[in-house]
Structure 1
Amino acid sequence: MADQLERGGELHRPAVAEAAAWLRERLPEEPRLILDVGSGPGVGTCVLAEAFPGAEVVAVDGADGLLERATARAERLGLGDRVRVHRAELPGGLDAFGGVDLIWTSRFVHHVGDQRAALAALGGVLRPGGLLAVGEGGLPVRFLPSHPGVGRPGLQARLDAAGDEWFGEMRAELPGAVDAVDDWPALLTAAGLAPAGSRSFLIDHPAPLGEVGRAYLHAHLTRIRGNDGDRLAPEDRAALDALLAPDGILTRPDAFYLTASTVHTALTPPAS
């Protein structure tokens, strides 16, 4: 998944930069220590380092290989003096930190069984008045016209439905899984934090999509075929196979990438 995570990070990089500018407005002063929790290969980590030039930014992840990629990316971009990595079995392993000014975490918390407890653990390493930014939710990815010429119209909506079913099963099987509504401001409140606003950011790469986007979509559809194939009707499986063929999504001139990512913010209580 490392290559796929890096490709996805590149596609979402402009939106992360826009989100970082929005977060700056919510911070009373320039942050000195930022954590990117669930950083993967460090694409977002480096965006944060560029957006906050006075901060040390730490990529936190549980996979050594991904952290090596984060280090290499930072070095390539001339950010090696301000970006470092920390291996942790999340959401634990953050005891080494305290007084953090900003925590950014994107599409990580939903991989933890007890999401409220994960948010509370993240809030516990923020300084009083520190900011937690949680990227969760938004809109499903759209990448083809409504009638793509393979199968029946509405294929993407049916893929979404199968994906939602898989996601629910994945969540239910996580250790310590707690069935909770994905009301992120409410979860942040229950974790002892004060919600400070949410905003969605558009990710729009119009047709014709570039090589990185096409490779990402091919891998994305391959994963859907593996995870959700049994949930799809035979005609939809055939349509998916046609998109995965050499003359499918990798070559179609009408392929695009359009989605939206929502960021929820919350502050820790100020010192009494």
Structure 2
Amino acid sequence: MAEQLETQAELYTPLYERALAWIGKEVTEPGLIVDAGSGPGVISCLFADAFPGARVVAVDGSGELLERARSRAERLGVADRFGTLTGELPQALDDLEYPADLLWASRSLHHLGDQQAALSAFADRLAPDGTLALMEGGLPMRWLPRDIGIGRPGLQARLDVLEEERFTRMRTELPGSVDVTEDWPALLTAAGLKHTRTRSFLLDLPAPAPDRARAVVAARLGRLREIVGDGLDAEDRATVDRLLDPQDPASVHRRTDLFVLTAHTVHTAVKPH
């Protein structure tokens, strides 16, 4: 999944850049930025570019992904103020040398069983007046019209239902899983933070999508076929298989109506001084 994660994050860069610019209106000169659950470090390096006076630490449980992050930082010329920390969240944050002025968690929180406890741990690692920025929620990615000319219309909506069910199962199977109402500003406030803000950011790549968007869509659809395909009926499975076949004119590799449209939501809050 490493290459797929990196390629998708690169495609989403315009969305992330707008999110960072919005955060930067409140967080002006951070000394330490922590990317909690950084993956291959695409967003970590965007932080290094957006805040040239800051040191950035990418934290992740995967050493392979962090190696990619270090290589990216070297390629982009920010390695002198870029570090990594390997370990599981939130415990790995205990190894930070000093508190963070900005802690960013991009869709990493929902992989932790007790999300409220994790948010409190994130808040504990903030400096006074430090900001926690949480990317959770938004809208599912869309990449084709409702009626694509093959199979039954509404395929993506049916895939969404199966993916939501799988996500719910994933959450219940996490160690120490605790159900919470996903009212993120309320959860941030319960973690002792204040001044919550929320804003959503759009990625809109109209048809015909560029080749790298096609690659991301094909990888994502292939992943969905693998993990939720058994929940589809025979007709939908056949449609997905055609969409994934590079030789089929109706596939995502060759269609002229392929686009990418999605939205991610960011919530921020500040640690009291």
TM-score, structure 2 normalization: 0.96
Correspondence for 2:103: 103
State whether structure 2 residue 255 is matched by structure 1 residue 256.
Answer: no
Specify the SS of the correspondent of 1:199: strand
Q: Determine the C-alpha separation between the residues in 1 that align with 2:37 and 2:93.
A: 12
User: Are 2:188 and 2:196, in contact at CA under 8 Å, matched by a contact in 1?
Assistant: no
1:267 to 267, 270, 273: 270
Is the deviation greater in 145-154 or in 108-117? 145-154
Aligned letter for 1:227?
I
User: Are 2:85 and 2:92, in contact at CA under 8 Å, matched by a contact in 1?
Assistant: no
User: Are 2:59 and 2:92, in contact at CA under 8 Å, matched by a contact in 1?
Assistant: no
Q: Determine the C-alpha separation between the residues in 2 that align with 1:175 and 1:263.
A: 26
The equivalences for 1:17-28 within 5 A come to 17-27=17-27
Q: Quote the offset at 1:196 in angstroms.
A: 2.0
The equivalences for 1:209-220 within 5 A come to 209-220=209-220
Aligned-pair Cα RMSD in Å: 1.1
Q: Determine the C-alpha separation between the residues in 1 that align with 2:150 and 2:121.
A: 46
Q: Determine the C-alpha separation between the residues in 2 that align with 1:257 and 1:139.
A: 12
Q: Quote the offset at 1:96 in angstroms.
A: 2.3
Q: Determine the C-alpha separation between the residues in 1 that align with 2:100 and 2:116.
A: 19
Specify the SS of the correspondent of 1:146: coil
Q: Determine the C-alpha separation between the residues in 2 that align with 1:57 and 1:94.
A: 13
Correspondence for 2:77: 78
Correspondence for 2:67: 68
Specify the SS of the correspondent of 1:93: helix
Correspondence for 1:50: 49
User: Are 1:185 and 1:195, in contact at CA under 8 Å, matched by a contact in 2?
Assistant: no
Specify the SS of the correspondent of 1:240: helix
Q: Quote the offset at 1:211 in angstroms.
A: 2.1
Q: Determine the C-alpha separation between the residues in 2 that align with 1:61 and 1:76.
A: 20
Is the deviation greater in 89-98 or in 120-129? 89-98
* Per-residue deviation, residues 69-126 of structure 1 (Å, max 9, x unmatched): 0011111111111211111211211112232100111010000111111111111110
Correspondence for 2:120: 120
Q: What percent of counterpart residues are identical?
A: 56
Correspondence for 2:164: 164
Correspondence for 1:239: 239
Q: Quote the offset at 1:195 in angstroms.
A: 4.4
Q: Determine the C-alpha separation between the residues in 2 that align with 1:49 and 1:244.
A: 37
Q: Determine the C-alpha separation between the residues in 2 that align with 1:10 and 1:149.
A: 30
Aligned letter for 2:146?
S
Q: Determine the C-alpha separation between the residues in 2 that align with 1:208 and 1:74.
A: 32
- Structure 1, unaligned runs of 5 or more: none
The equivalences for 1:82-231 within 5 A come to 82-97=81-96, 98-231=98-231
User: Are 1:33 and 1:55, in contact at CA under 8 Å, matched by a contact in 2?
Assistant: yes
Correspondence for 2:10: 10
Q: Determine the C-alpha separation between the residues in 1 that align with 2:147 and 2:269.
A: 41
Correspondence for 1:32: 31
Aligned residue pairs, count? 269
Q: Quote the offset at 1:220 in angstroms.
A: 0.7
Aligned letter for 1:139?
L
Aligned letter for 1:48?
F
Specify the SS of the correspondent of 2:77: coil
User: Are 1:110 and 1:171, in contact at CA under 8 Å, matched by a contact in 2?
Assistant: yes
TM-score, structure 1 normalization: 0.96
Q: Determine the C-alpha separation between the residues in 2 that align with 1:15 and 1:115.
A: 25
- Structure 2, unaligned runs of 5 or more: none
Q: Determine the C-alpha separation between the residues in 1 that align with 2:61 and 2:257.
A: 37
> 4+ residue runs of structure 1 moved beyond 6 angstroms?
none
